[in-house]
Copies of this chain bind each other. A is one copy, B any other.
Amino acid sequence: MHASARPGRYNPGVIPRVFAPDAGTTAGGIVALAPDEAAHLTRVLRLGPGAAVRVFDGRGGEWAATIRDGAKSRVSLTLGPPLAPAPEPRVAYSLAIAVLKGDATDEAVRDGVMLGAAAIHPFVAARSEVSLAALARARRADRWRRVAIASAKQCGRATVPVIHEPVTVDALLTGAPGPLRLQLVEPGLGEPSLHLADVPVPSAVTLAVGPEGGWTPGEVAQARAEGWLALGLGGRVLRAVSAPLVALAAAQAVWRDR
């Protein structure tokens, strides 16, 4: 769903967006791209000197830019004027996602970024079929950070959410940021205690979503004891990989967030 071409408007469909974390602090208006970003421009998009791009720094800054010189994996840009990226939500959404099977967590991260998450907290629940040690060995958090950058490029955000290192479910339930903490519960696992419209719009919220096998009764009880509220989203069983998207979409719609 690309925006149409219109001068001066946010328009990701026409001008490629590249990520350069130091774009805002560079000297002389020249930005050197990391090799993978450079290769994307030169090899995939086949762009050369003079081509117009947009560059964003992942912290909310975005600029017009022109390719200054470059070949293969070495590209530098000349920065132009600042541009308005896609708006950030007013509520800071922290998305806590149980690590899923295979590559499904990638999809959840991608969708969370697209829906405007401010931070992502992966965790290993009792029914997650993976260990923290295996995630560390495979450097999965680094992979999710690359997924987050790619999703930010696609959806027009200039802010790349922080992807935290995976933690245990206990650490998540005791330590996740507030003030509002919501545990998404499936039909049949206790009665949902909350509709999103029944709480004042928070400044920040953590939304926690369980793995394919669901939360254990112990995890639900611990969450209640730690002050998390149970949130139900309709009477049907959601796929675990889709639940974060449904939860974020619901919260933003009810809270009239942008």
Partner-B contacts on A (CB < 8 A): 1-4, 6, 9-13, 86-87, 89, 111, 114-116, 154-157, 184, 186-189, 195-197, 209-210, 212-214, 217, 233-240, 242-243, 245-247, 249-254, 256-258
Residues on B with C-beta less than 8 A from A209 are: 1
Partner of A250, one of B10, B11, B253, B258: B253
Partner of A245, one of B184, B195, B213, B245: B245
Q: Do most interface residues of chain A lie in helix, strand or loop, or is the interface mixed?
A: loop
Measured CB to CB, the closest approach of chain B to A111, in angstroms, equals 6
Residues on B with C-beta less than 8 A from A188 are: 3-4, 6, 9-11
Extra pairs beyond A1-B237, A11-B188, A114-B237 (16, CB < 8 Å): A2-B213, A2-B237, A3-B188, A3-B237, A4-B189, A10-B235, A86-B237, A87-B236, A115-B246, A116-B236, A154-B237, A156-B187, A156-B235, A195-B256, A233-B249, A250-B253
Across the interface, do A234 and B213 meet the contact criterion of CB distance under 8 Å?
Answer: no
Closest 5 CB pairs of A and B: A3-B188, A250-B253, A87-B235, A249-B249, A1-B186
Measured CB to CB, the closest approach of chain B to A125, in angstroms, equals 11
Residues on B with C-beta less than 8 A from A87 are: 235-236
Across the interface, do B253 and A196 meet the contact criterion of CB distance under 8 Å?
Answer: yes
Across the interface, do A243 and B186 meet the contact criterion of CB distance under 8 Å?
Answer: no
Residues on B with C-beta less than 8 A from A213 are: 2, 13
Measured CB to CB, the closest approach of chain B to A236, in angstroms, equals 4
Partner of A156, one of B6, B236, B251: B236
